[in-house]
Amino acid sequence: MNRRRFIGYASILGGTAALQGCSVLTTTNKTKSLRNSPSRELNADVIIIGGGMGGVAAALASCRNGLKVVMTEETDWIGGQVSQQGVPPDEHQWIETHGAPQSYREYRNRVRDYYSRNYPLTEEARQKNNLNPGNGSVSRLCHEPRVTVSVLTDMLAPYMSNGKLLLLSEHKAKSAIVTGDNVKAVEVENLRTGDRVVLSGSSFVDATECGDLLPLTGTEYITGTESKNETRELHAPEVADPMNNQAFTVCFAMDYQPGVDNVQDPPAEYAFWKNYIPKMTPPWSGRLLDLSYSDPRTLQPKRLGFDPTGKNLDGVLNLWNYRRIIDRDNFPKGTYPGDITIVNWPQNDFFPGNLIDVPEKEFYDTIERGKQLSHSLFYWLQTEAPREDGGTGWRGLRLRGDVMGTHDGMAKYPYIREARRIKATFTVLEEHVGAENRKMVAGEEAGKRAADFHDSVGIGYYHIDLHPSSRGNNYIDFSSLPFEIPLGSLLPQRVNNLLPANKNIGTTHITNGCYRLHPVEWSIGEAVGCLIAFAGKKKVPFRAVREDKSLLADFQREIARQGIETKWPR
């Protein structure tokens, strides 16, 4: 790997969220700033900041196409929302056969194969074509977070072995060097040692959960809600609000030990959360810690159920089964004393605070309050949740930190639903993908399909699902159409060599609601990795691939050859 001596530079920032101010180093101030605390330098073709689904997919595509990559990850687990955040994959109903890249389906197949090779399954489970380890109702592939880590590590292993990929875990971006409209380098900090590394390269990918590279590099971006006047979207508010972002969730894993009392002291904020009534428009159904919530579609009170024995409850969803990642019936008797489930429910969505573009202390304090909410929900389930037999609480519930890779049972990182979004060459609007808005714009017949993008580089589907927000909006949840991912939404308007690969693409607050899920993030990352390789071989800027019809056609043929679908079958 090419290494040239770098002078190194002083710390520009504090921590995770202090991403505004003088965080961009231009060549005019570089000499002045690069003086103290020398940093070593690593150089690669592609620098990927963030090892979530999009980052991993971008790394795989880049390496597969012959490029050298350095990828960083803030935690010690790659996989993002499906691993460090503890969220089983949210997917569409056609995922087993189409609607995602071939590499994403390979990942899913490897997860099932991992269980077949390493776990004692019942014969019935082993014979299933589409094994669902947890039989959770939210996904056809509810599984343990650490299995994703193992599978993704295996997929990356050949490239780490042959020197095409270097993975730096527990490293966070701190500052950047930018010359004109081009990023030259990003400095990252080892979160264990405090050592700094300067990563220089030709192309940079922001695969962080919050879009951290955008302010660091001076890339123009949008946050929060746009106004109806700006976007003409049916469900947009009248007034824009940059600080109005969806709730985040600190997920946790738990199991149940009948006859065992696992109750400990209540969390510090339990009294607050026990009595907390969300202030929402339209109004919430009552207290947050309750087995009712606002139905996302109707916003009317809706009853839920909870029983950790896994039984089906007549007429209501048993939350225990919703994101269950281990169903003991898939394994020989005695392998597991009970099921294991993930808690990512309406009751632990944290909306009284915002993580985007806030001071560092507020960022971390807000996450800690999110943890307090989740701990309080767990304590409430142990002690006060109503039971069908008339009793209260399930004292045998137990946090499973070993499942989440943490000491406190909580996920390593909060589940982030909304990030900074690039000001893109093309922005996906509700009229392109929202079922009702699409018909209003395109007419009844044309409105049965999402917009046909000439520059499509992938496809995906999920209903538009916006969780309650930091400014008091209740759910916004409505039907969308199977959609395409336009190349224009991946291209910043000005910066030449930075691409997004997470929830930071050119969507709006509204359309982010269907572009933010697991397979779509993977599709975005893979398209980005392929674009970097293709543009490099053609020796053209990224935007030229979209602007030149011949180049675009060549690129679409190339990604199709690599297993990326760009159109839904009619």
Mean pLDDT along residues 223-249: 98
Tell me the C-alpha distance between 444 and 438, whole Å.
9
- Give percent of the chain with pLDDT exceeding 90: 92
Tell me the C-alpha distance between 107 and 152, whole Å.
7
Decide yes or no: CATH 3.90.1200.10 for domain 24-133+144-199. Answer: no
**Residue pointed to by tokens 């409430």:** 380
Tell me the C-alpha distance between 521 and 240, whole Å.
26
Please report the DSSP string for 121-170 in residue order. Answer: --HHHHT-TT--TT--TT-TT---HHHHHHHHHHHHHHHHHTTSEEEEES
CA dihedral 176, 368, 374, 253 (to 10 degrees): 50
Q: Is the pLDDT of residue 5 over 70?
A: no
In this structure, are residues 57 and 529 in contact, taking their beta carbons and an 8 Å threshold?
yes
Helix, strand, or coil (residue 4): coil
pTM of the predicted model as reported, rounded to 2 decimal places: 0.93
CB atoms closer than 10 angstroms to residue 256 = 22
CB atoms closer than 10 angstroms to residue 223 = 21
Residues 6+ apart with CB under 8 A from 332: 120, 121, 122
Tell me the C-alpha distance between 432 and 410, whole Å.
37
In this prediction, residue 570 carries a pLDDT of 82
**Residue pointed to by tokens 């971008």:** 58
Q: Is the pLDDT of residue 2 over 60?
A: no
How many CA atoms lie less than 13 Å away from 25 in the CB half-sphere? 22
Say if residue 417 is exposed, middle or buried (CB neighbours under 10 Å; 0-12, 13-18, 19+): buried
Listed by start position, the domains of the chain span 24-133+144-199, 248-404
In this prediction, residue 310 carries a pLDDT of 92
Q: Is the pLDDT of residue 17 over 70?
A: no
How many CA atoms lie less than 13 Å away from 322 in the CB half-sphere? 19
Spatial CA neighbour of 17 closest among 297, 560, 420, 328? 420
Q: Using the 8-state DSSP alphabet, how is residue 63 labeled?
A: H
Strands (E), 349-502: 349-350, 397-399, 421-422, 456-460, 464-466, 476-478, 483-486, 498-500
The tokens describing 301, both together, are 């009170």
Q: Is the pLDDT of residue 11 over 50?
A: no
Please report the DSSP string for 455-492 in residue order. Answer: TEEEEE---EEEPPBTTSB--EEE-B--EEEEGGGGSB
Beta bridge mates, 476: 466
Spatial CA neighbour of 455 closest among 541, 538, 543, 529? 543
Tell me the C-alpha distance between 107 and 254, whole Å.
25
- Answer with the residue of higher pLDDT: 193 or 36: 193
Residues 176-201 pLDDT 10s: 999 999 999 999 999 999 999 999 99
Q: Is the pLDDT of residue 39 over 80?
A: no
In this prediction, residue 315 carries a pLDDT of 86
Spatial CA neighbour of 133 closest among 105, 154, 153, 108? 108
